[in-house]
Structure 1
């Protein structure tokens, strides 16, 4: 018989490698029996990294990682039936989800199903900013999928109004326990993002900003690490700008743990990789390059850069 009671079961739903890392860190922190629902979306890079992340944690032989059950999800119908079973038969469990915008979770947001958000980084900041600023009519509130959720996070949220929710803090304690101090003082990692694909920046603007990044690190080896959602056809242009291209097999959090020689500097625009680096490897220098507001096809991101100032250098770029 298990030493865990039914209400000790935690259920996690994730859709990406980064969300899976947060789920596994929660599993390690809480030391409870768990059920993990993993949705594979058909994107080769995303799905391969999910498998590698899961195998990484399971291979560590921590007892709690053997206390659970993994359910692979491949369709909306499969998710609905699986999640409904969790609600009906595991009603007292805590339900952790990796993204507040997941289309699979929209029906459950409409039903105001209690869930805990564990998507650290920019997505959580955007969620909190939207909760703060969005003004809606009564009808819009009734049918909104912007469901207030408690948080499981490594973020310092002291500058946000989170009085209405419960915040459970963590600090990537399992990954931190595996890190070493060996680094390469000449190496800079620059984490790319799918800003072009998401229509946040034009191709011309993005390449202009990358050119300024290379100038800032003149004389050093700067590696461009593309986001799994970026168009690989553009990488040859970034190489021509002056970057070395490095496509990691794991998300940034695990790269810091697995690399024999960590970079001395981790940089990017406003990617969550910068924040997680500052937590997992405090000795690594972190720099955030600020995109001018006039270049961004989205509302001001000043609130994000204000937060990044608390843990990184913020380097102003020209339009």
Structure 2
């Protein structure tokens, strides 16, 4: 019997795994859920499992401590022992940058490996794999001494994006589009927040100043801020009090929240959240806008990748407003 394996570590990866099951009509599907022990994050993934039938769901704890990383190659070999006698037809994975995930993929024998979307990371795939920093090279050299299997993986992309010089199969979100019912639209803007402060991409003060400009852009509408799961709620609360806006914290992906909602906003906005690309598939009548900050507002280490993201937004026909 042939099996199909889906390796996921985020809610969006789960969503795209379900779309892959629909698109490829796979059977005998095994879901490998990678996690760090974060219960909130894990629960967000679990909320989506019932959308598809899985023959088996296995949980793998990713290493955080140095000692766990040292023994990871052996630990994962033991954890995947049940897979050794199974013939894998297709392997789907949502993360290409993690050495631990790459080791898992290289530990499983398969005929084909597909890369699922996980945010906007895939837009910079070629740069990521061709321009290893010295730090990354040293880390991987150490991991290889610890028996990590880090052979370069050739992916077929199952994606909503255009990736240069790569084989692509378009993800049209046909499964979740079937779940949509009629919606009532209200005169509200949902601003999709991002953990730019937490990731060191933008200072809290700059983030606040950019939000002031965006709120002024939508002064004729009610403005509701949608907090990202990786944002510190204290930061969001501070901004909410200072700028006098309402914020919401969803238990699952905003895409799923909107699919299930009976009332949806008339407009969505963000800096560069992936949701601004996926949501039009489900709510085509809403307006979608991305706001682009001046480079001086952004940590210079992130400017190139962010610039590539806005180029893709422009290519896709999204409305880009310069702040």
Structure 1-normalised TM-score? Answer: 0.82
| Superposed counterparts of 1:129-278, under 5 Å | 129-131=127-129, 134=131, 147-155=153-161, 157=162, 160-162=163-165, 165-239=166-240, 240-278=242-280
Q: Give a deviation string over 1:78-115, Cα, whole Å, max 9, x none.
A: 544344654x4335422111111234214357889763
Gaps of 5+ in 1: 58-64
Structure 1 residue 43 corresponds to structure 2 residue 38: yes
The aligned residue for residue 60 of structure 1 is: none
RMSD of aligned alpha carbons: 2.8
The answer on whether the counterparts of 1:185 and 1:264 sit within 8 Å (CA) in structure 2 is yes
Aligned-partner SS, 1:72: strand
Aligned CA distance change for structure 1 residues 135 and 52 (closer, same or farther; 3 Å) = closer
The answer on whether the counterparts of 1:120 and 1:154 sit within 8 Å (CA) in structure 2 is no
Give, in angstroms, the shift of residue 278 of structure 1: 2.1
The aligned residue for residue 25 of structure 1 is: 19
Gaps of 5+ in 2: 64-71, 142-149
Aligned CA distance change for structure 1 residues 66 and 48 (closer, same or farther; 3 Å) = closer
Separation in 1, partners of 2:152, 2:209:
35
Structure 1 residue 71 corresponds to structure 2 residue 58: yes
Aligned CA distance change for structure 1 residues 262 and 223 (closer, same or farther; 3 Å) = same
| Superposed counterparts of 1:54-93, under 5 Å | 54-55=49-50, 57=51, 65-66=52-53, 68-76=55-63, 77=72, 79-83=76-80, 86=83, 88-93=84-89
Aligned-partner SS, 1:178: coil
The answer on whether the counterparts of 1:190 and 1:266 sit within 8 Å (CA) in structure 2 is yes
The answer on whether the counterparts of 1:21 and 1:53 sit within 8 Å (CA) in structure 2 is yes
Aligned CA distance change for structure 1 residues 250 and 127 (closer, same or farther; 3 Å) = same
Runs of 4+ in 1 over 6 A off after TM superposition: 109-114
Aligned-partner SS, 1:227: coil
